Amino acid sequence: MPYMLLIAEPSGQRATRSEAEGHAVYDRMVRWGADLKERGVLLAGESLKSQDADTARVEVRSGKPLVLDGPFAEAKEMIGGFFLVDCKTRDEAVAIAVSCPAAEWCSIEVRAVAPCYA
């Protein structure tokens, strides 16, 4: 069963690292993802750019689109990336989330993939 691991990180925390520290963190995550792929559980995964002027929120109400440009200063955290994994059980997905290096500085939300009517 597919599970989405959403990496929820404090907004602005990336700016607290030096460039070398940022590369080191990213390299750890890449190695962790490669291990998941080698084990045959990784379906997809990506890091997301920090919220900035390129960020947008889109809503359509009564047929009228509303586009809000970032950054969103009111946000206390942002989705910094995701991993889509294929696991037999929720417990297996949670165990994978526990092993994620980002769990040391972020929260990881584990969600089963399911249709919106479920």
> Mean of the pLDDT values across residues 48-72?
88
Instruction: Please report whether residue 49 resides in a domain.
Output: yes
Question: Is 118 part of any domain?
Answer: no
For range 30-50, the mean pLDDT: 96
Q: Domains in the chain: how many in total?
A: 1
- Report yes or no on 11 lying in a domain: yes
How confident is the model over 53-64, as a mean pLDDT?
Answer: 92
- Cα separation values, 63 from 1, 58, 60, Å: 35, 12, 6
Rounded Cα distance between 49 and 16, Å, is: 15
pLDDT at 50: 84
Q: Residue 53 pLDDT more than 80?
A: no
Indicate which CATH number applies to the domain containing 56. Answer: 3.30.70.1060
Residue 117 included in any domain: no
Residue 77's pLDDT is: 87
Domain of residue 14, residue span: 2-112
Is the residue at 34 inside a domain? yes
